[in-house]
Amino acid sequence: MENKETFIKKLRSSGLRPTRQRIEICRALYDRKKTFHFTINDLAKILKSKSNEKISLATIYNTVCAFKNINYLKEISINSNKSYFDTNVSNHHHFFNESTDELIDLKNDDVGNIKLKKKIPGKKIKSVEILVKIKDNN
């Protein structure tokens, strides 16, 4: 239920000009009750149906990349031919349903704490993600 002004402030405070396109994309991504996972193609479809103005595919790519850089979006590690993004930017893990190509959140509490006993000198850890691949029974 965030309104336009909130998005404008958020964008400005991250050094991004609040353009028509970026505000529309904010609406599509964050004006919802629940976080969700999407591909670029998913988002393009959502924008086409929900929004009047046409937003070019290049802008969608640019914006998703920009939003990822300022931590408005997270990219999920899957070896798919497409990239998957998540509006839930907190640390959490995923099921990936290989039968439907859908991601499902695994809350941190759903996974026992991960204790890494190996360290790599001279490197810093950027993320620790668990991916549980699942498939339909049968």
User: Applying CB under 7 A, which residues contact DNA?
Assistant: 12, 15-22, 39-41, 53-59, 61-63, 65, 81-83
Contact between 127 and its own copies by CB under 8 A: the answer reads yes
Q: Which is nearer to DNA, 13 or 127 (CB)?
A: 13
Three-state secondary structure call for residue 21: helix
Q: Is 97 in the site for Zn ion (CB under 5 A)?
A: no
Contact set for Mn ion, span 78-117 (CB under 5 A): 83
Distance (Å, whole) CA 43 – CA 105? 19
> Binding to its own copies by residue 88, rule CB under 8 A?
no
Beta-bridge mates of residue 38: 85
Helices 57-69 and 20-30 sit at what angle, rounded to 10 degrees? 70
